[in-house]
Structure 1
């Protein structure tokens, strides 16, 4: 009777040792980065970027890619360093700061000072690579004045081709696409 529990223990110990030997690789973590821009002339602007809306399929820690017309793919070991909506909001605020006239201040809605004259409202419809690697950013935005007035909704579809097929190159192309979007948003801001 003592042999049966002992052999089960040996088998269990062997299985645990085998599982430990087959450990998964550590995840690679990525973040979007602000892109340099050319500052516009004019009076300084004080603005905030409101919480960004992203589609639910992108609202996950893993980086999402399209592998076909109707199929999405994720790699469990390629992840965002923070929720995508928060990252887009933070990086867009940094991108706008680099593009608006000197002395302008852009914050995220989590750091409002109460002095903002404009708020950028952004809804992302798509922000992922096509099956061929081309990054596609589809977004709608509007500028809201301090008294709550809203400008017309603007839309953009921006495509960027990564330098190579690596995830790092895809994330850099995503950062560049977000910088292109900041160029489009910043253009009319100083006139407000």
Structure 2
């Protein structure tokens, strides 16, 4: 009987030791602009219509580059929503901070009675590394009314230093979106 009790206690201790760490959920936050918003209102408001992320990043786990041709997925650290939607929300808020009031329209707002420019962002790379820095490579296109005419097209390459942990990676990813918003705002004013 003593051996059974000892085995049961040992088995319970083993199960407790094998329990995984709790899952942590992360989001991307807007980042305050280093400069005040532009003083004059753009003649045509801008709406961020879409942000597209690569399929290898479009998953619940936070993905970091572990080396050439190798990605690491953090099983215990996940996005609180779809990465493309988190990025779109943070970038839209960043743009609203950087442009004068009325110069941006949220995606769920009704279109204004006057014309509207649409902004589409395609993210080609958006991850940190195990050693730290976050890289954001994105193409953005500003479309005129009717989405037939591209008013501006740019490719941006942004690198932000980060600590090697997941929290540092996520914070640097938010900062990279803030820098992207700075660059877009400078062109659409």
Change (3 A) 1:21 1:69: closer
Shift of 1:83: 0.7
Q: Does 1:31 align with 2:30?
A: no
Shift of 1:133: 1.3
Q: What SS class does the counterpart of residue 126 from structure 1 fall into?
A: strand
Q: Which one has the largest radius of gyration?
A: 1
The runs of 5 or more residues in structure 1 that have no matched partner are 1-10
Q: Does 1:161 align with 2:158?
A: no
Contact 2:129/2:164, CA 8 A, preserved across alignment: no
Q: Whose strand fraction is larger, Structure 1's or Structure 2's?
A: 2
User: TM-score normalised to the size of structure 1?
Assistant: 0.83
In structure 1, distance between residues paired with 2:130 and 2:75 = 18
**1:22 alignment partner in structure 2:** 18
In structure 2, distance between residues paired with 1:100 and 1:84 = 24
Contact 2:130/2:165, CA 8 A, preserved across alignment: no
**1:174 alignment partner in structure 2:** 173
Contact 2:41/2:100, CA 8 A, preserved across alignment: yes
Shift of 1:102: 2.9
Shift of 1:18: 5.3
* Aligned with 1:41 (options 39, 44, 51): 39
The runs of 5 or more residues in structure 2 that have no matched partner are 1-6
**2:134 alignment partner in structure 1:** 135
**1:117 alignment partner in structure 2:** 116
5 Å-filtered alignment, 1:97-112, equals 97-108=96-107, 111-112=108-109
Q: Deviations over 1:69-98 (max 9, x none)?
A: 111101100111111000111111100000
User: TM-score normalised to the size of structure 2?
Assistant: 0.84
Q: Does 1:150 align with 2:150?
A: yes
User: Number of residue pairs matched?
Assistant: 178
RMSD: 2.3
Q: Which runs of 4+ in 1 moved over 6 A?
A: 14-17
Shift of 1:171: 0.9
Shift of 1:19: 4.0
Q: What SS class does the counterpart of residue 26 from structure 1 fall into?
A: coil
